[in-house]
Amino acid sequence: MTDFITVADVNERLGSGWAGTGDAVLAVAMANAWLTAKIKRVVPEVVPDAIKSAGVQVAKLAAEGKLYKDTQREVQSKTVSAQSGTSVSKTYAAGSVERSTGENFALDLIAPWTRRSGTVMLKRV
């Protein structure tokens, strides 16, 4: 796992009480794990501000218990009828997961690093 952010980075941007009743160190560790899993390209030695901002957003979610959520089996189809001719139906894609606003924002911030480059260098031996 790569350390993209530290507790000090989050404290600097959100203030010292950002974790509330959550564990700040665990939240930052979860944020770094999340970023490591999402980022597919090499990141410069000095971490770009966009990645740090994404890490701050994700750490805040982790402290609130909203980053890594319990997962349930996905609903494929559900129909409820109240009376004859009236029904409500739900269908979800398999593996779909609801994301928070902060998580979507963080994904957009790190987008340049989440896709592998299309160029592959080959060397003839």
pLDDT at 97: 65
89, part of any domain: no
Domain with 14 in it: 7-70+100-114
CB atoms within 10 A of CB 63: 23
Question: Residue 92 contacts by C-beta under 8 Å, 6 or more apart in sequence?
Answer: 74, 75, 76
Question: Residue 27 contacts by C-beta under 8 Å, 6 or more apart in sequence?
Answer: 10, 19, 59, 60, 62, 63, 67
92, part of any domain: no
Strands (DSSP E) contained in the chain are 78-83, 86-90
75, part of any domain: no
63, part of any domain: yes
Give this prediction's pTM. 0.69
Mean pLDDT, to the nearest integer, of 3-16?
A: 95
Look at 124 and 94; give whichever has higher pLDDT: 124
32, part of any domain: yes
81, part of any domain: no
Mean pLDDT, to the nearest integer, of 64-84?
A: 70
41, part of any domain: yes
124, part of any domain: no
Which pLDDT band holds residue 50 (cuts at 50, 70, 90)? very high
Q: How many domains, in total, are found in the chain?
A: 1
